[in-house]
Amino acid sequence: MDSDVIEKVTKYLFGTWRLQRSWLHPLHIVGGEGAYLIDSEGRRLLDFSSQLVCVNLGYGNKRIIEAVKEQLENIAYVGPGYSLEIRAEAAEALANVLPNRLRKFVFSSSGSEANEDALKIVRSYKYPDYKILSRYWSYHGNTAGAISVTGDPRRGAVELHTRVDGVVRIPDPYCYRCPFGEVDCDECGRMCIEYIDYILSNEPHVAGIFLETVTGTNGVIIPPRDFYPRLRRLADEYGVLLIFDEVMSGWGRTGKWFAFEHWGVVPDILTTAKGATSSYVPIGITAVDTEISSFFEDNFLPVGHTFAYHPLAMAAMKAAIEEYREGGYIVNAARVGDYLGKRLIELMDRHPSIGDVRGLGLFWGVELVRDRDSKEPFHKREDKIKGVELITQKVARKMIDYGVLLSMAWISNFVIAPPLIVNEEDVDLGVEALDKALRIADEELTK
């Protein structure tokens, strides 16, 4: 029965972002409860990265399930042009968790679409300026515009045929691998920001700067304290828009509703998805500053989707917002996140294969290296596209034996991001599994 299901899954469905021959034995999941998934062998597995950093409230959340069921009974779908009670309530609930400036929303069904909509809004508003600055260590989604502003190797795999032009790369504030060779973040000259100033003063027709506030998949990269305040000032000085992609870093993940709150800086456009419904229903959100939204009173808004403001997504989001608020899960993310960070940093003493550990709230990156002094990575970034078996994947596979799922095993790093409902005991289980499985990476160092 089990093998029958797996065989049909891999026979009919494409495995995403991979060579198809490498998707042979996906884990067969039969249920989930809280922060744990249950597989067909009856094992309870701690979900140590909330799947794709999206099931922020864990599995089986009664409030969200009941809200979606109720909405289904009431009305499952009407087009985006109609007024519905759930649309009014959910949109108001969203407005109440965002800064006053972000007051008008377009909804879609994914983070990629949220970014696609943001790009169209930026380019319409700033026309004829159209260029977008974005980073190398980033992921913004798989639609044409979103993959074009993406920096990671998935862009390389498609950009010759699927590309939106006008993207200019800016350096990453990636202190562990500073592109300018700085070693001390406190002492450094902040070329990562100075160079953006240089680009803005030389590059014609720039419309906006597109960033993950905290870079997620590509290594949980957190910029230095003064980075965003200075970037905000630069954007205002040059009259370009600041777009923050919080598809992954939003919804309590970093211990605040949205990551930008850590820096006291508000973007002109915010995109988000995933945790907005804790992934119970697909969703994408593009939230726009009032000055920009008023432009579209008399100018055509070139954005819309059949599933914009889908009643089930609105119901799930409203319930999720109530749950984040009343369950105290964002405060929990900050508190348990500190504990998780402390435990992960301790692992560095025992595992020479760990090069760096960094994070905020329940959003942590563990970067593996072949050599701590030279910071030589185990893999080149293109290895992902070539289908090379990655050391992070080997470690993650081993962790399943110890009862822990770590689905965010990227090229040289893990993204450790359990549901915001976890406690210290869950964290101990996850960190101990990683501790044991990392022997695989340590052994590779001597080869």
Binding site for ligand PLP (CB under 6 A): 52, 110-112, 115, 139-141, 212, 216-217, 245, 247-248, 273
CB of 222 to ligand PLP, least distance (A): 14
Task: State the Cα–Cα distance between residues 66 and 12, nearest whole angstrom.
Answer: 32
- Tokens representing 256? 């605040």
CB of 254 to ligand PLP, least distance (A): 13
Closer Cβ to ligand PLP, 217 or 277, answer by number: 217
Closer Cβ to ligand PLP, 36 or 363, answer by number: 363
CB of 139 to ligand PLP, least distance (A): 5
Closer Cβ to ligand PLP, 212 or 426, answer by number: 212
What contacts 100, CB < 8 A, 6 or more positions away?
none
CB of 82 to ligand PLP, least distance (A): 25
Closer Cβ to ligand PLP, 112 or 134, answer by number: 112
Task: State the Cα–Cα distance between residues 372 and 328, nearest whole angstrom.
Answer: 39
One-letter amino acid for residue 319 of the chain = A
Closer Cβ to ligand PLP, 119 or 433, answer by number: 119
CB of 114 to ligand PLP, least distance (A): 7
Which residue number places its CB atom closest to ligand PLP? 111
- Tokens representing 166? 């006008």
CB of 53 to ligand PLP, least distance (A): 7
CB of 13 to ligand PLP, least distance (A): 16
Closer Cβ to ligand PLP, 140 or 384, answer by number: 140
- Tokens representing 355? 């090069």
- Tokens representing 378? 């185990």
CB of 74 to ligand PLP, least distance (A): 26
The vertex-56 CA angle with 351 and 283, nearest 5°, equals 130
Closer Cβ to ligand PLP, 212 or 356, answer by number: 212
CB of 49 to ligand PLP, least distance (A): 11
Nearest Cα residue to 53 out of 223, 215, 210, 225? 215
Closer Cβ to ligand PLP, 90 or 214, answer by number: 214
Closer Cβ to ligand PLP, 111 or 255, answer by number: 111
Angle between helices 329-350 and 311-327 (to 10 degrees): 70
Please give the helix or strand (H or E) that residue 108 lies within, else none. strand 102-108
Closer Cβ to ligand PLP, 123 or 154, answer by number: 154
CB of 257 to ligand PLP, least distance (A): 16
393-405 burial, b at 16+ Cβ within 10 Å, e below that, comes to bbbbebbbebebb
Task: State the Cα–Cα distance between residues 214 and 442, nearest whole angstrom.
Answer: 28
The vertex-409 CA angle with 335 and 40, nearest 5°, equals 90
Q: HSE-up of 188 (CA within 13 Å, CB side)?
A: 23
Task: State the Cα–Cα distance between residues 253 and 275, nearest whole angstrom.
Answer: 8
Give the DSSP letter of residue 388: P
Nearest Cα residue to 444 out of 395, 411, 400? 395
Nearest Cα residue to 117 out of 275, 293, 380? 293
Specify the residue for token string 């007051």.
103
Instruction: Determine the 3-state secondary structure of 7 from DSSP.
Output: helix
What residue spans of 75-173 are helical by DSSP H?
85-97, 111-126, 144-149, 153-158
